[in-house]
Structure 1
Amino acid sequence: MAIQKHIALLLQFLLVALVFDVANGYPLKLGFYQKTCPRAEAIVKRTTANYIYRAPSLAAALLRMQFHDCFVRGCDGSVLINSTRKNQAEKDGIPNLSLRGFQVIDAAKTAVEAACPGVVSCADILSLVARDAIHQIKGPYWPVPLGRRDGRVSIASESFTLPAPFANITQLKAQFVSKGLSVKDLAVLSGGHTVGISHCSTIATRLYNFTGKGDTDPSLDPRYVPQLKRICFPTDKTTLLAMDPGSSKSFDEDYYSVVLKRRGLFQSDAALLNDKTTSAYVKLQAKSHGYTFFKDFQASMVKMGQIGVLTGKVGEIRKHCALIN
């Protein structure tokens, strides 16, 4: 039965990939490096596992890094590029200043380069690392079609196009649809907040000055507000908060129960209750104990991983992920 489910899931992903193939002309495909660098995926998996074993919290950070990469210029590894004297790159844009885990990507790239110089892109490595890191903490595992090439442009100001933690449902839906993702994908991928942490500064306005009158966001459970205020003071910029309290180290459906209780950390979490489709998905996962969450997350990650990819002869294969060739 397990084998049959795996085959069915694989066929589903292949169908999704086929749709993108027609659009791109140069398809991403499973096993892309089978002949040119057959050990690539195993090397990335081993390198990722070594880091996640020592620091499991990096899994959430690496998943977030892929999301931030794909939503700006597509999944082209542009978030990995360092700034120069002439250009401030994405990673130095304000929404990306809290990104971490770049050392994992660099280590994987170094290991792959030692085996197959100039073959495997940083964009592909980032996609593999994010998947392998989440699976390492017992989260879902999804097929990653490969063949992405690396972008040569990275602009800090473009990071402001990322979905913001204070975004409302109308803004979130528009941003996801603009990337070829559905409203259901919005609800599913928001579930990535089941792992990870944020800073008190991210919710300070929501707690202390929501409309500029010293008030609190009314969409937040009033019984939960005193707990948050005991942890976070108005000017606190260092204290960390779990995005899924009590379950922030486990990749599970508990996030949806938190949102349904109006205890989602961000306004963008609370916003999921303001749309018929996303609200229905939140209630489904919360009440069914995540019956379809892993399967849905797998499918949405495959879709997200194909946003705006560079293939064929477009872009380059970077020698170092932080530096344009």
Structure 2
Amino acid sequence: MKICLIGPGIMPIPPKGWGAVEILVHDVRCELERIGHNVTVVNVKDKSEIIRQANATNADFTHIHYDGHIDVIPHLTCKHVAITSHYGYLEQPSYWKRDGYVRILNSFAAIAPYVIAASPGIADVYKQLGFNQERLFVVHNGARSDLFRFDASCEYPDRSLYLSKIEQRKRQYIFQTIPDLFYAGNHADSRFNTQSERYLGEWNKDYLYDNLTKYANLALLSDGENHALVCLEALMSGLGVVVSEFAAANLDTSLPFIDVVPESRIKDLNYISATLKRNRETSIKMRKEIREYAKKTFSWETVVKDIYLGVINNILCQDKV
């Protein structure tokens, strides 16, 4: 099958450092190509160039991974086109006006594309907005089981890691006094103290693949997420996760190595510190189980084979009717 994946056109694919959307587009391409599909990635910002490059692929299926490109769909010659939003506040309508997202949703409604949501919660938002449920699907994100090193033992059993771009949405500055919480990511929030000895700087991809497994667990306490890739990467590396309510999409929160911090307690640093400690103690004893859960649920091999290709075939069949 010829498949065209359209990225945001903001950073290279694959990225050298941060860039979750760019990472997942690259990883999906790798898995699709591994099992024999012909995949082209279009990753430019200019919409006329997106249209030109995408149409030149003569693709059987096109998947857009940036909702700002919604208006190119009517100009694509491929008739089987789906779009996925990676907007972090999609489940929180109070942010839509601030972020100019109402205009994008109006375009979604007018164009009525096939929509692939990254979680059931996001799919519910589209349903509540009146989107055609026959054109709505759910495919959660995945992570590369072949790239992330896994050690059954933990080198830093007393350390939690907050691995993410340091920005307002992630709220890292709130938690900097927690003594066992370390930070890695490119800095984009002046409230965060980069002089702290627990700020580890920005990690490149090779360093991430090799070193994430050294930590006991991951923290992601942001005030908005879509489906956070970093949680899947942490689980794949054998780490437990402590997340905010907004970062818990698609995670089995009944598992002992996954903890969700209620939003009502997000500024209770004693509570969060104790939760991180308890989760570390649990997770370092269950690293093999964590890794197996991640592989079974979130490896791209599983996601593509068991979910994504089924959605693509469903769309192709619908358009034949």
TM-score by length of 1: 0.33
| Higher share of residues assigned helix | 1
Q: Which has the higher contact order (CA 8 A, sep 6+)?
A: 1
TM-score by length of 2: 0.34
